[in-house]
Structure 1
Amino acid sequence: MRKPTYNVYVTQESQPDQNGDKSTYWTKVGVAFAHNSKPGVNIVLTPGIAVSGKLVLLEPKEEGASPQNQPTG
């Protein structure tokens, strides 16, 4: 099987803390593969997971790397 072109995450922003700062939580919900012959990607979501909100595609980093501090675009 090919390696995924992207990891797929759902982001969720927390409520502001006492200082007004917000945190963004990243949950990996699947992977995406680029098409071989045409522009586009196939997104494969983890079975049984409910997804809503914004999906973010990020190129895979080294194994076990956290998506923290990534732009949420």
Structure 2
Amino acid sequence: MKNRNHTSRPTHNVYVVEGEGDTAFWTKVGAAWQHADGEGLNLTLTALPLNGRLVIRVPKASDEQPNGKAGR
């Protein structure tokens, strides 16, 4: 596996999701880089959530909003 280039853009965003359905609150807590062979991911977390579940998603234009809530 190649070392991740810290200047490369992440291939995925990492969120902690609390709640269900339309009332769920998504908070971005990190980024992920897909391995060159497509078999895994390297994660960098900026926070370690105590509640909720971690969700890894491909970034979309709406994910760049700084309001802490992604358009899901």
Q: TM-score, normalised on structure 2?
A: 0.68
Root mean square deviation of aligned Cα: 2.5
Identity %: 38
Aligned residues: 61
Aligned counterpart, 2:39? 39
Unpaired runs of at least 5, structure 1: 15-20
Unpaired runs of at least 5, structure 2: 1-6
Greater helix fraction, Structure 1 or Structure 2: 2
Q: TM-score, normalised on structure 1?
A: 0.67
TM alignment of 1:1-73, pairs within 5 A? 1-13=7-19, 23-37=23-37, 39-46=39-46, 49-52=47-50, 53-62=52-61, 63-64=64-65, 67-69=70-72
